[in-house]
Copies of this chain bind each other. A is one copy, B any other.
Amino acid sequence: MEPGHTTSTRPSNGAAGPTIQLISYSPSDIRELNIDDIEQLPSLLSQPDMVHWLNVDSVDNVELVQRIGEMFSLHPLAIEDVHHVHQRSKVEEYDGYLFIVVRMAALENDDVVTEQLSLFLRGHCVVTFQVGRPGDCLGPVRERIRRANAPIRRFGADFLMYSILDASIDSYFPLLEQFGERLDELEEVAEAPRVRGLIGELHRIRRNLLTMRRSIWPLRDAINGLLRTDHELIHAETRFHLRDCLDHTVQLIDVSETYREVCSDLRELQYANVNQRTNDVMRVLTIIATIFMPLSFVASLYGMNFKTEVSEWNMPELSWRFGYPFALGIMLTIFLAMIVSFWRWGWIGRQSNLE
């Protein structure tokens, strides 16, 4: 399974079939219908002065999708792509219609999942197929259509296509913002000692940013291609708006790239801190061990039990008048020698700080 793609198909409880919604509108009129019988469609779409948006809320029903494909004379390959819900975002031109795949983003358990939205633009009709969860990020488009004087009502189906595309792209911004805020928080703790879980958290964010970038990247190329070709379905005004759309994708890619770099940099910062810390810990250990091991040795030496009464060679120091001060003197000498060495090696004393 690809990371960041939704796999769960919507649990289809027996009764409820896939929701098919038709919104038809003209500058002066609007009509919203839930379609139960697919065969009604041709008559419903017969008004040429209206823009029709047919939204199918689940692609699980294979026959339904096929039937709609036939009604709009869509190419079997495109219909196949509707079913395979792990497509990359793309814009494909067919004779007389456009096929667009775009991935909408959402957050599931703090992880980004993307859901495929397949869109056909043919004449006055826009047909969209979604995977499962109904209407998440297209709500604002519906709202705008319902408003009597909204600009969208004055333009054609290509503007509707743009609005849907734009709404899908806009679904990425709040997610990205959320990761940005999280990174700001992490940046503040990254220099603190011993932050457990930081690296794991950075890893998670990086992976999510990767998912987002992968979904957006192909869309940028696709929109760019659409703008360059002189497609008769796309009018001049829509073209301006698509350029804006392109700007948004570029910004999304740009920001997610930046965040990924920030992740890497924070990881390096944390590494460096752990490394520096290990070095500090080691130095303390070494200083303590280097001082006390020789001292303990001297103490152990004079703790030996060789019998002084047997021979004058056996530990005569023990019977010296100043034996104990002598031993203490040796220890003090060793101690001072060590301290001086550490000082000269720069292990103790004030370390240099950046001014």
A17 at the interface (CB under 8 A from B): no
B199 and A276 form a contact (CB under 8 A): yes
Q: Which among B92, B251, B276, B322 is the interface contact of A311 at CB below 8 angstroms?
A: B322
A96 at the interface (CB under 8 A from B): no
Chain B's closest residue to A353 (CB) is B196
A258 at the interface (CB under 8 A from B): yes
**Number of A interface residues, CB 8 Å?**
112
| Supplied contacts A196-B276, A284-B290, A292-B296, 8 more A-B pairs, CB within 8 Å | A77-B244, A197-B353, A199-B272, A203-B265, A207-B262, A281-B347, A288-B289, A299-B304
A3 at the interface (CB under 8 A from B): yes
A-B contact pairs, 11 of them (CB 8 A): A3-B258, A191-B200, A196-B352, A210-B262, A214-B254, A292-B296, A299-B300, A304-B305, A306-B324, A311-B323, A313-B325
Provide the bound-state CA to CA distance between A54 and B81, in Å.
Answer: 31
Provide the bound-state CA to CA distance between A184 and B92, in Å.
Answer: 32
A3 and B199 form a contact (CB under 8 A): no
Known contacts A262-B207, A296-B297; decide if A304 and B327 are in contact (CB<8 Å).
yes
Number of copies: 5
The interface residues of chain B lying within 8 Å CB-to-CB of A274 are 272, 275-276, 279
Bitwise interface map of A from 292 to 320 toward B, beta carbon under 8 Å scored 1, else 0: 11111101111111111011011101111
A49 at the interface (CB under 8 A from B): no
A146 at the interface (CB under 8 A from B): no
A255 at the interface (CB under 8 A from B): yes
A150 → chain B closest CB, angstroms: 12
A110 at the interface (CB under 8 A from B): no
Chain B's closest residue to A200 (CB) is B191
Provide the bound-state CA to CA distance between A284 and B347, in Å.
Answer: 12
Provide the bound-state CA to CA distance between A315 and B307, in Å.
Answer: 11
**Which residues 10-68 of A sit at the B interface, judged by CB distance below 8 A?**
none
A70 at the interface (CB under 8 A from B): no
The interface residues of chain B lying within 8 Å CB-to-CB of A273 are 199
